[in-house]
């Protein structure tokens, strides 16, 4: 038990550090290759910030723990919206100006509905997983198109400023890209082992561990990135990181895990509790950030509401475990 707890702690530290190195290396390598800043931000950085969730869930599914993988995806989206945007908005209110981000919001809503529809029959088979992965590759294609055509979007300015702060020689960029990815895999393996061991020792389901400890840990890169971006006035990056990560989590994280290890019986609580909370937070985010006749924003009061929703959800999880 002590060794498992230590494995989770070490796994988290290495996971966050390696994910940061991987993203920086990938972004710098793409920049040296002449890729437009906005395209780097939407595809390379967007993919990279979701890498912890993808690798951890793939590892969990490969080791026969697909419920942990599903819990990680749903839990990460709840953490992203409730905790990360809530805390970020309370530190520095987020103003949404990017047309691209406003186009992504209804897309996130539709993708969240799609997941609910696919899980409705209580099964996550390879057919459902394939649909999600097709959606993921379609999203990547749309992101590439938006990254090329989105000249002048406020998100481009924010991204360009961010990339200028992370310039490095090509050799160093490739080193961090490769080393960061290897360490990401190793740290994910350590984290999954520790999480599964503790879950089995305490008699808690893999789903609950995935929704709480693992989801919080794999979302730490988004938390750091969003707070840093908001404090520097890069509001569209702060919210764009979360919206992009949430779409990637549903399509890629659940899709990859489902292809590796299908779930013959999805726990009823996934739809009646976890998906429902994720959907409610997605709707709240949509109305706050889109604007509808006013400047889209998440102010401190709205941030506090998101944070309260996240806290209430975790209390619900604790009560369900104790019942």
Q: What is the DSSP letter of 124?
A: B
Residue 104 · residue 242 · CB < 8 Å: no
Residue 267 · residue 209 · CB < 8 Å: no
Whose CA is closest to 296, among 155, 163, 202, 180? Answer: 155
Residue 120, pLDDT score:
93
Ranges assigned E (strand) in 31-126: 94-96
Q: Which two tokens stand for residue 53?
A: 């969730």
Query: What is the residue-level pLDDT of the chain in tens, covering all 323 positions?
Result: 788 888 888 887 887 788 778 778 877 887 777 777 777 777 777 777 778 888 888 888 888 888 888 999 999 999 999 999 999 999 888 888 878 788 889 999 999 999 999 999 999 999 999 999 999 999 888 888 877 776 767 776 767 776 676 677 888 888 888 888 888 878 887 887 888 788 778 788 888 888 888 888 878 777 777 777 777 777 777 788 888 889 999 999 999 999 999 998 899 999 999 999 999 999 999 998 877 667 778 889 999 999 999 999 999 998 887 76
Give the global pTM: 0.87
Whose CA is closest to 107, among 309, 290, 305, 307? Answer: 290
Number of domains forming the structure of the chain? 1
Residue 165, pLDDT score:
67
**Which structural domain range is residue 303 located in?**
2-322
- CB neighbour list of residue 161: distance below 8 Å, 6 or more residues apart: 232, 234
Residue 124, pLDDT score:
92
Phi/psi of residue 293, each to 5°? 90, -5
Rounded Cα distance between 309 and 1, Å, is: 31
Residue 49, pLDDT score:
73
Q: What is the four-CA torsion angle of 311, 57, 119, 83, rounded to 10 degrees? A: 20
The Cβ of residue 126 has, within 10 Å, a number of other Cβ atoms equal to: 14
For position 248, which CATH number holds?
1.20.1420.30
Residue 293, pLDDT score:
67
């Amino acid at each position: 038990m002590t060794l498992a707890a230590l494995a989770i702690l070490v796994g988290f530290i290495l996971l966050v550090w390696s994910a940061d190195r991987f993203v920086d290396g990938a972004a710098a390598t793409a920049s040296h290759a002449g890729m437009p800043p906005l395209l780097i931000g939407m595809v390379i950085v967007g993919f990279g910030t979701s890498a912890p969730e993808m690798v951890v869930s793939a590892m969990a599914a490969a080791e026969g723990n697909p419920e942990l993988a599903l819990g990680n995806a749903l839990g990460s989206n709840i953490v992203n919206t409730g905790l990360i945007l809530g805390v970020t908005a309370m530190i520095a209110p987020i103003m949404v100006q990017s047309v691209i981000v406003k186009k992504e919001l209804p897309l996130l809503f539709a993708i969240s509905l799609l997941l609910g529809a696919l899980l409705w029959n209580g099964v996550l088979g390879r057919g459902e997983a394939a649909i999600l992965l097709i959606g993921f590759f379609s999203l990547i294609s749309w992101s590439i198109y938006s990254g090329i055509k989105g000249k002048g979007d406020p998100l481009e300015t924010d991204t360009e400023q961010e990339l200028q702060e992370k310039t490095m020689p090509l050799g160093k960029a490739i080193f961090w890209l490769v080393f960061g990815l290897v360490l990401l895999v190793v740290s994910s393996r350590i984290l999954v082992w520790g999480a599964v061991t503790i879950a089995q020792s305490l008699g808690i389901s893999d789903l609950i561990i995935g929704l709480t400890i693992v989801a919080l840990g794999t979302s730490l890169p988004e938390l750091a990135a969003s707070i840093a971006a908001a404090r520097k006035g890069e509001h569209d990056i702060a919210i764009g990181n979360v919206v992009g990560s949430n779409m990637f989590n549903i399509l890629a994280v659940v899709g990859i895990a489902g292809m590796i290890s299908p779930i013959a019986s999805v726990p009823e609580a996934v739809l009646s509790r976890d998906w429902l909370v994720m959907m409610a937070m997605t709707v709240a985010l949509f109305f706050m950030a889109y604007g509808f006749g006013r400047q889209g924003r998440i102010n401190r009061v709205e941030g506090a509401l998101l944070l309260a929703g996240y806290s209430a959800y975790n209390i619900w999880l604790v009560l369900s475990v104790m019942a």
